[in-house]
Structure 1
């Protein structure tokens, strides 16, 4: 077996083992990622892990179908990566980064498998160069799509009896209630959530109601407390299917707001973020029970 084929086989084997083990652990709730993970993506990664081990066997066995199998999985990863980037805001950045790494690995594996063809046709340099340019351009494009979503500015009227606060710091996330337009009811009824999720939301609301702090450090401490409760919700969630997907639509903006509260740099920003988080938590009961 040629050296480049050995390297390709090792890369695919390790990728398959890691995807299979980590995906299974997260799916069974035995490993906490610290961010929201789509269940469909977990299943996809587990299936791809199994297929990766199969491809590693094909490489070791010098099968003629190796090149086609590698190319198929490469395009599969590219397709899923594009889908994740264009998906609504409930896809974690970590999931996209992981898919980018997998895509790059599969591209490298394909180049190793096809190295002989490139070499024989005197296209080795061009082949590597074109693939590098393609991957680079794709990565830049996908990042630009994810980091620069279309935003709509809406004007709001202030109530006479409402206390005005200063403009929030750039470090604090602006209130984003776009999830209200993305989330759906269960054919007009609320989704049935698992008891642990509803209990976690209730504890977060109580933490805010009982909060009496005023300093920046106290607001950040509240953010840490809410973050711990959020992690428990993610870990103990047993919801599946459409109810699970809609929960993520509600949960992802909350995660961003909690992170913003953990990093506020003024009391006014803390007041604003606490009010925003409390309103977001109250919205949970409009869609789940």
Structure 2
């Protein structure tokens, strides 16, 4: 079997399998199947949608390779462009202080580069042997776009990277009055050169309101659903009314992450869940004033 034909068949099957996996994962997050959204939280919708669109391009592209359709490479090129747009939107999301997982950056970069490799191999395997190997215009367009997307992600990510040593300094300085399990759940929140950060009044009020909601809740007569709804509403208002910027905003973001996850797990029935949230809220005064 000719090398080009063998490469075409193997690549076609690989792209179909990769597309099916990507389609399953993307739809699972969007539709919250199997509880995957909670495990992947915080997820970035623009990235998930870009992955979904790319998966819908992978499947016909893989089939096209098996049928030796020359339009296959164009589908893969389109998938690369879609992922690059997703990378740019992710960079903007990070730059504006949106929540994200560090792994999202690496996964999207890998997917974009892999799709670009699929495109290049598809062009090679579909090219007639008697045609001269001339550079394709699309190749010259995709490479700068990929490099631009990676540079945007790296730049945005670097603005949100925190030094591990600073976290160690903060851990030694801040009082450790919470249970070990709660403390371990906290992200890398650090002080402002040993001093607490200045928070906007609305944020401080929102935290106090959440503490009050928990304090006044009576497990014997209260509705667990109402408790969760009240805490969720107040938590959303903290984000909506926050006017903090710069490093103080980043540290607030780090502080709120474990509360976000604790609220997602809260059913209002388990006392341990309520105690976890109360302990996290109690640490607000350790970092902000």
Instruction: Tell me if the contact between 2:23 and 2:56 (Cα under 8 Å) persists in the aligned partners.
Output: yes
Partner Cα distance (2:287, 2:116) in 1: 42
Look up the match of 2:98.
90
* Residue in structure 2 matching 1:146, options 139, 143, 156: 156
Computed over aligned residues only, the root mean square deviation of the Cα atoms, in angstroms, reads 4.8
- CA positional deviation for 1:173: 4.0
Q: 67, 76, 85: which one pairs with 1:79?
A: 85
Once the two structures are superposed, the pairs formed by residues 14-29 of structure 1 within 5 Å of their partners are: 14-29=17-32
Task: Check conservation: 2:54, 2:83, Cα contact below 8 A.
Answer: no
Distance between the aligned counterparts of 2:171 and 2:61, measured in 1? Answer: 50
Residue 199 of structure 1 corresponds to: 231
Structure 1 residue 135 displacement after superposition: 8.2
Structure 2: segments with no counterpart, 5+ residues = 161-168, 173-187, 192-196, 203-224, 236-253, 267-276
Matches within 5 A, 1:104-253: 104-116=113-125, 117=127, 121-122=132-133, 137-138=147-148, 141-149=151-159, 168=170, 172-173=189-190, 196=228, 198-199=230-231, 227=258, 230-231=260-261, 233-234=263-264
Counting only pairs closer than 5 Å after superposition, residues 265-280 of structure 1 correspond to structure 2 as 274-275=284-285
1:188 corresponds in structure 2 to none
1:38 to 31, 35, 44: 44
Structure 1 unaligned spans of 5+: 151-166, 181-193, 204-222, 237-257, 263-270, 280-289
Deviations 1:63-110 (CA, angstroms, capped at 9, x unpaired)? 121111111111111121122112222141332322212101111101
Q: How far apart are residue 177 of structure 1 and its match?
A: 7.1
Q: Which has the higher contact order (CA 8 A, sep 6+)?
A: 1
So what's the TM-score if we normalise by structure 1? 0.50
Q: Which one has the bigger helix percentage?
A: 2
Shift in CA distance, 278/75, structure 1 to aligned 2, threshold 3 Å:
same
Matched, 1:9 2:12: yes
Structure 1 residue 234 displacement after superposition? 4.5
> 1:194-230 CA deviation, whole Å, 9 max, x = no partner?
9645435879xxxxxxxxxxxxxxxxxxx99x83x53
**Partner Cα separation in structure 2 for residue 19 and residue 176 of structure 1:** 43
Partner of 1:67: 73
Paired residue secondary structure (1:2): helix
> What is the total number of aligned residue pairs between the two structures?
195
Change (3 A) 1:199 1:25: same
Give 3-state SS (helix, strand or coil) of 1:57's partner: helix
Instruction: Indicate the residue corresponding to 2:110 in structure 1.
Output: 101
Shift of 1:112: 0.6
Is contact 2:57-2:75 (8 Å) kept? no
SS at match of 1:33: helix
| TM-score normalised by structure 2 residue count | 0.50
